[in-house]
Chain A
Amino acid sequence: EPEVTQTPSHQVTQMGQEVILRCVPISNHLYFYWYRQILGQKVEFLVSFYNNEISEKSEIFDDQFSVERPDGSNFTLKIRSTKLEDSAMYFCASAMWALRGTDTQYFGPGTRLTVL
């Protein structure tokens, strides 16, 4: 069964450093998402992406964050200058279609980011 993959599974970085989290969505999906989960809390939406542009972003997704689909298979989340509070599990998700009446969002296994 096709699945969303994410790399790395765990990333440790120093405060102020840039990190890039990578995702390979399911191949025929067109809608891509990033969510995050701070330890012990619920999952929060960051951004959705369709047709090579952001379709929606949350208040968490400030200027320190950016997303990109650099080729036909990868979808990345960049954090420009990490802060301690960016430590969380970051989930990538994809869906086949997501207009009103949306399809299932499939989640990757997550990247655990630790900022020291």
Chain B
Amino acid sequence: GIQVEQSPPDLILQEGANSTLRCNFSDSVNNLQWFHQNPWGQLINLFYIPSGTKQNGRLSATTVATERYSLLYISSSQTTDSGVYFCAAEGRETSGSRLTFGEGTQLTVNP
């Protein structure tokens, strides 16, 4: 099945800094989503982005499907951005619509 790799595994920022999180995937995708897992464990949908670029406030994402990677940009980071960011992909060759998650990037934003 599809492999999903995220980098970096850990990232520590000062409030106000910008960051880029990367997700590499091994096959063509039908679906690619970014999530933020908050300290209570909830998975918050950030983007559905199998291709192209989207923006939502201080967050934006770009997926280059032909090169099999996606990037999540966080600008002017805030302490509330802390948590784990997951990328998840559905491979085009899978029989169903399961999402395969990466290991995540643990982001800590210090005041």
**Residues on A close to B: CB < 8 A?**
31, 33, 35, 37, 42-45, 48, 55-56, 58, 89, 91, 95, 98-107, 109-110, 112
Contacts and interface: CB of A to CB of B under 8 A. Distances in A.
Given A56-B97, A58-B98, A102-B97, A42 B103 contact: yes
Contact residues on B (Cβ < 8 Å of other chain), bracket = 20 to 34
B27 interface: no
Interface of chain A, helix or strand or loop or mixed? strand
Interface of B: 30-31, 33, 35, 40-43, 45, 48, 86, 88, 90, 92, 94-104
14 contacts: A33-B97, A33-B99, A42-B104, A43-B43, A44-B101, A48-B96, A102-B30, A103-B48, A104-B31, A104-B33, A105-B31, A109-B41, A110-B41, A110-B43
A35 B35 CA distance: 14
B86 A31 contact: no
Contacts of A107: 35, 42-43, 45
Contact of A55 (B41, B42, B88, B96): B96
